[in-house]
Amino acid sequence: MDLGLDGRRALVTGASSGIAKGIALALAAEGARVAITSRSRERIDAAAAEIGATGLVWDSDDLDAVPDLLAAVQAALGGPLDVLVSSTGGPPAGGDPLAFTREQWEAAHRSLVLAPMALVTAVSPGMRERRWGRILNVASTSVREPLSHLMLSNAERSATLAAFKTLSREIAADGVTVNSVLPGRIMTERLVSMSGSEEAVRAAAERQVPARRVGRVDEIAQVAAFLCSEQAAYVTGVALPVDGGLLHGI
């Protein structure tokens, strides 16, 4: 299937590794011109070289830097963005959901809600004028079935999901789609660090995931690329789990 992404300009944030890097790879493979961001110059340069993308340093906590970031992206890609994929690393986990400090709550809100909305607010008017755009949020299945040790992520990612759903209805008539993907158990550095080892990740997936295995980054990346495509023009306001059947809800 031709996804109609050849020559499209895309920005994927938080893409030095993991799911976002996989999405950037998938978009580039479809012919998109891709820019990626990370806090680390070393990591983003390495990822950009592997993908064939433009690597830019951006800290999602720095909301004031969004205009400069987007100006740099436009200069590097030769025009305004067609595709925005917002991905941010998860905030700290913890056993006691009431033990997080106000500062931790504010930091999580800034990175998981304010940062993606700052990007969307900046890029969506141009997409609407050109009557084509794809905005995608990388969230988590925990927005549907909260996990007790991920209080900050549960709450703040749910807020962004609601914001994206609200926005999707406002701009659908202008040819701009706004969707989210909800990764389940996908083999990433973060999941391994939270579980202790790759073996522990696989063992837990075999017990808990109906597919009886952990997911691969490329499996969710291909779903994301479709949602960013010409072929997904009539799909908007969706929060799509990619979880091997992990979620219990209908």
Say which CATH number the domain at 133 has.
Answer: 3.40.50.720
Give the predicted TM-score (pTM) of the model. Answer: 0.96
Nearest residue to 122 via CA among 165, 61, 63? 63
What range does the domain containing 70 cover? 9-186+217-242
- Domain-located, residue 201: no
Sheet strands side by side (includes 83-86)? 54-57, 33-38, 9-12, 83-86, 133-138, 176-183, 239-242
Residue 78, CB half-sphere, CA atoms under 13 Å: how many? 6
Q: What percent of the chain has pLDDT over 70?
A: 100
- Domain-located, residue 102: yes
- Domain-located, residue 247: no
SS3 68: helix
CA angle 22, 25, 28 (to 5 degrees): 150
Whether the Cβ atoms of residue 157 and residue 209 lie closer than 8 Å to each other: no
- Domain-located, residue 101: yes
Distance from C-alpha of 111 to C-alpha of 109, rounded to nearest angstrom: 6
Predicted local confidence at residue 228, as pLDDT: 98
Predicted local confidence at residue 78, as pLDDT: 97
- Domain-located, residue 197: no
Predicted local confidence at residue 250, as pLDDT: 85
- Domain-located, residue 42: yes
Average model confidence (pLDDT) across the chain: 96
Q: Is the pLDDT of residue 247 over 90?
A: yes
Predicted local confidence at residue 64, as pLDDT: 97
Residue 35 confidence class, pLDDT cut points 50, 70, 90: very high
- Domain-located, residue 248: no
SS3 185: coil
Predicted local confidence at residue 45, as pLDDT: 97
Whether the Cβ atoms of residue 249 and residue 145 lie closer than 8 Å to each other: yes
State both tokens at 96: 């006691």
- Domain-located, residue 126: yes
Count the domains in the chain.
1
